Chains A and B, each alone.
Chain A
Amino acid sequence: MERKTKVNAENDRQDILITREFDLPVELLFKAYIEPEIVEQWMGTKVLKLENKPHGGYQFETTDPQGNALFRANGAIHEFVPNKKITRTFEMENTPFPVQLEFLEFHQVTEGTSKLNMHIIYKSVEYRDQMLKLPFAQGMNMAHNRLQEIVSKLK
Chain B
Amino acid sequence: MNLRRDVFQAIADPTRRAILLLLASQSMTAGAIASNFETARPTVSKHLQILTECELLEKEQNGREIHYHLNPKKIKEIADFIEPFQKMWDDRFNKLESIMKNYKPQE
B1 near A: Cβ within 8 Å?
Answer: no
Number of interface residues of A (CB under 8 A): 32
Q: Interface stretch among B34-42, B47-55, B68-76, B90-98?
A: B90-98
State which of A29, A31, A43 has its C-beta within 8 Å of the C-beta of B92. Answer: A43
A-B contact count (CB 8 A): 79
B32 near A: Cβ within 8 Å?
Answer: no
Q: Which residues of A (11-45) have their CB < 8 Å from a CB of B?
A: 11-12, 18, 20, 22-24, 28-29, 31-32, 38, 41-44
Task: Give 8 pairs: A residue, B residue, CB < 8 Å, sorted on A.
Answer: A4-B93, A22-B97, A24-B97, A24-B101, A32-B96, A132-B85, A133-B81, A133-B85
Which residues in A have some Cβ–Cβ distance to B below 8 Å?
A: 3-7, 9, 11-12, 18, 20, 22-24, 28-29, 31-32, 38, 41-44, 116, 129, 132-133, 137-138, 140-141, 144, 147
Which residues in B have some Cβ–Cβ distance to A below 8 Å?
A: 8, 11-12, 14, 17, 81-82, 84-97, 99-101, 103
